[in-house]
A and B are shown apart, each in its own frame.
Chain A
Amino acid sequence: GNSVTQMEGPVTLSEEAFLTINCTYTATGYPSLFWYVQYPGEGLQLLLKATKADDKGSNKGFEATYRKETTSFHLEKGSVQVSDSAVYFCALSSTGGATNKLIFGTGTLLAVQP
């Protein structure tokens, strides 16, 4: 079945450091891929998405490229800020069926220190 694997946290970085959070997936068909972010005490927010191979999603300085050959969708940011501290979830949605439910990874906690 479809699944998402993302790197375990917590990831602790200093402000202005480079961020990579790895995400790989297993899916039949051609899924859409997403990164959601959950700030402390808040709900899930869509950070970025990509709907086909080689698409790059970007938002707020974060980027991720849909790599079909490596079944990956790694999240990157060139310079993190303290305000980026949150839990990041990688997810996929299979467009082969009618539901388009999201399948999430376990989440990666990012802590950015000043």
Chain B
Amino acid sequence: DTGVSQNPRHKITKRGQNVTFRCDPISEHNRLYWYRQTLGQGPEFLTYFQNEAQLEKSRLLSDRFSAERPKGSFSTLEIQRTEQGDSAMYLCASSLDARGLGTQYFGPGTRLLVL
């Protein structure tokens, strides 16, 4: 069990550029979540996949954000036309559905800085 991995760990970009982050969940975990954490705050839910289906998106996820999980394995989160307000830690978590009680295991996060 290698845990949840995320790449890259750090990303610095200029305003207006596009960025893409990758999350590899624990193998066989069918649920995958994306959260965003800003300095001094707790993580906030962005979106959720069960297998390859994106079943819920937060209102925080503007139309500049898109997430995919092809084949129900790894997931990508893309931010288009980045803004300084997008600077945050982006966290991925996965869980194994057990009547909705599966514990979420988090990756180390991708820290984004938009200049």
Contacts and interface: CB of A to CB of B under 8 A. Distances in A.
Contact of B106 (A44, A93, A101): A44
Interface stretch (B12-20, B63-71, B73-81, B97-105): B97-105
B101 A51 contact: yes
Contact of B107 (A43, A46, A95): A43
A111 to B, nearest CB: 15
B21 interface: no
Which secondary structure characterizes the binding site on chain A?
strand
Contacts, number: 59
Interface of A: 4, 32, 36, 42-46, 49, 51, 89, 91, 93, 95, 98-107
Interface of B: 4, 31, 33, 35, 40-45, 48, 50, 55-56, 91, 93, 95, 100-109
25 contacts: A4-B42, A36-B106, A43-B106, A43-B109, A44-B91, A44-B106, A45-B106, A46-B103, A46-B104, A46-B105, A49-B103, A89-B43, A95-B101, A98-B50, A98-B55, A98-B100, A99-B56, A101-B56, A102-B93, A104-B42, A105-B42, A106-B40, A106-B42, A107-B40, A107-B42
